[in-house]
């Protein structure tokens, strides 16, 4: 089984039709923590959060090694999903790095879209 990682992309202006993913942060690998965010199939934990599909009206552009490309799926071929920054207040982590990211998310406006990119 391959590893599973989670990169989040913070969208500064969710009202725009174009979501440019240049503000990205990687959570440290923690399958129990990931399972609290979404159903990853890795643990028998009911997720605390319910990610939403990125609306079809939004264009998501992602920076790849060979330039900016429109993204509709994550590295596993699943449709991109997102949560609002306020949703992350419902999860905790024992990992110091992940705790720091969660604290940062608390400082954002509650309605900030956070794209979940599983890789």
* Structure-block tokens of residue 90: 């419902």
Alpha carbon distance 80, 75 (integer Å): 10
Q: Say if CB 102 and CB 87 are below 8 A apart.
A: no
Enter the pTM of the model. Answer: 0.89
Mean pLDDT over the full length of the chain: 89
Tens digits of residue pLDDT in 79-103: 999 999 999 999 999 999 999 999 9
12-29 average pLDDT score: 90
Residue 104, classed as helix, strand or coil, is helix
For the chain, give percent helix, strand, coil, nearest 5: 20, 30, 50
């Amino acid at each position: 089984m391959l590893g599973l990682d989670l990169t989040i992309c913070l969208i500064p202006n969710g009202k725009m039709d174009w979501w440019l993913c240049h503000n990205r942060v990687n959570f440290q690998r923690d399958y129990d923590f990931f399972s609290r965010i979404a159903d990853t199939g890795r643990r028998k934990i009911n997720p605390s959060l319910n990610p939403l599909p990125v609306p079809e009206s939004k264009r998501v552009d992602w920076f790849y090694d060979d330039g900016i490309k429109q993204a509709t799926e994550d590295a596993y071929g699943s449709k991109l999903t997102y949560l609002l920054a306020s949703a992350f207040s419902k999860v905790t982590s024992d990992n110091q790095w992940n705790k720091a990211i969660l604290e940062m998310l608390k400082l954002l406006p509650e309605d900030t879209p956070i794209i979940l990119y599983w890789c």
